[in-house]
Structure 1
Amino acid sequence: MPKNSKLNTAFLVRNETDLRSQFSETHEIAIKKCLKHIDEHARKFIERSPFVCIGTQSPDGSADVSPRGDPCGFVKILDDTTLLIPDRPGNNRLDTLSNILTNSKVGLLFLVPGFDDTMRVNGHAELTRDPDLLSMMAVNERVPKIAIAVHVDEVFIHCAKALRRSKLWDVDQHQNRDDVPSLMKIILDQTSGAPTDPEEQLRLDENLEREYRQTMY
């Protein structure tokens, strides 16, 4: 724990027994709903999803979560235990891909706009350059360089409580993006420093939007 932490150590939960004592027993159906394959319901959910978060872990144990998005059905279902996720152009940090090479365990969280429930998939992953598989995921005639093949160990539907609490899809809860600095200004503030000239900042913001359009795929 960091030295300047404000947490009271007397109330920290330090073992499984202590943790379990704070909750009632797991409902039997919550255990039985976990499948080891993609059934018809999971298939329909994944085919409708345009967005998935993928969690990985580095060799030193550092956790990472990366969002992936594309048109609905972009995650291909190769068979009942194998998913294929295209890797689209990004910032080339390659955190997710590098982590998979050293620790294949991954966790996926699928969202469908308007659905309050989510789909969770846990498994182990590999990276593939198979041209036949990559060609299946071309967009605007652009083929991804790499795809993440996920071998399913566990799949289950997750209840709607989190999304209902957050009101994620409620338009009345949407916030105005203009109330906070632009992405480019935030990055520059955190690195080399943002320009003080508003017109120069606007130009940089417009350049980023132009880059989005040109390098999406």
Structure 2
Amino acid sequence: MSVEADSFYHEGSRRLQRQLGTEALATHIAERYVTAHLMDEHIGWVRGADAVYLATVDPAGRPECSYKGGLPGFLRVPDSRTLEIPSYDGNGMYRTLGNAMAAPGVGLLFLFPELPAKLRVNGDGEVLTDADSLAAHPGAEAVLRVRIREVFENCPRYLHDRAAGTHSAHCPRPDYRPPEPAWKQKPEYEGLLPTVGRQPR
């Protein structure tokens, strides 16, 4: 189940793509790599994750991002188009869950310390407090069930190696030419990459 590029990008994104010469590249990525469900590999990643970054918006459209953590396995994936995030005891503000109740669109970012990967999931959230939902998540006060709309990986080149204490070699800095990421050298991107600011092969 793939998504249509014109529904994935709004006019603000398209305007910048045209200005910076990436419209064809962005269309290719959306049509080939953005899906409406989690792939089997992604399901394994999410089920083994110990954290997720969760973005919501309030009724006025103001964004907020929160960190949700737990032991590996705390996130449930009932099926490839649904995932569940437990909400544990906290400070009682319920800004994230309150936002999801008022404006259900949510965005998730997964980082995996053992994997050079970033996974983004967009969907619509539903806040659950019934006994059956809570029983599936020990210690939860509420559960955010996300109906998935879009799933895609991001280029991991700017991820730092926290274990080694080193920063990504791809980060720009004075008097330094970062290496070109391997994905840009694949034949499928020939003719799609912008030439402005791109390093020669």
Question: After TM superposition, is the score higher than 0.5?
Answer: yes
Aligned match of 1:161: 157
User: How many aligned positions are there?
Assistant: 154
Aligned match of 2:189: none
Do residues 75 (structure 1) and 71 (structure 2) align?
no
State the AA in 2 paired with 1:107.
G
| 5+ long unaligned stretches in structure 1 | 1-13, 175-217
Instruction: Please report how far the alpha carbon of residue 157 of structure 1 lies from its aligned counterpart in structure 2 after TM superposition.
Output: 1.9
Conserved? CA contact 1:48–1:112, under 8 Å? no
Secondary structure of 1:42 counterpart: helix
Instruction: Please report how far the alpha carbon of residue 73 of structure 1 lies from its aligned counterpart in structure 2 after TM superposition.
Output: 2.1
Aligned match of 2:35: 35
Instruction: Please report how far the alpha carbon of residue 18 of structure 1 lies from its aligned counterpart in structure 2 after TM superposition.
Output: 5.0
Aligned match of 1:204: none
State the AA in 1 paired with 2:165.
D
Alignment of 1:56-95 (within 5 A): 56-95=56-95
Alignment of 1:149-188 (within 5 A): 149-163=145-159, 167-173=160-166
- What's the % identity of the aligned pairs? 29
Q: CA RMSD in A?
A: 2.0
Aligned match of 1:184: none
| 5+ long unaligned stretches in structure 2 | 1-11, 168-201
Instruction: Please report how far the alpha carbon of residue 147 of structure 1 lies from its aligned counterpart in structure 2 after TM superposition.
Output: 0.4
Secondary structure of 1:85 counterpart: strand
Alignment of 1:1-217 (within 5 A): 16-17=14-15, 20-24=18-22, 25-27=24-26, 28-138=28-138, 143-163=139-159, 167-173=160-166
Aligned match of 2:7: none
- TM (norm. structure 2) is 0.70
- TM (norm. structure 1) is 0.65
Conserved? CA contact 1:75–1:86, under 8 Å? yes
The structure in which a higher percent of residues are helix is 1
State the AA in 2 paired with 1:32.
R
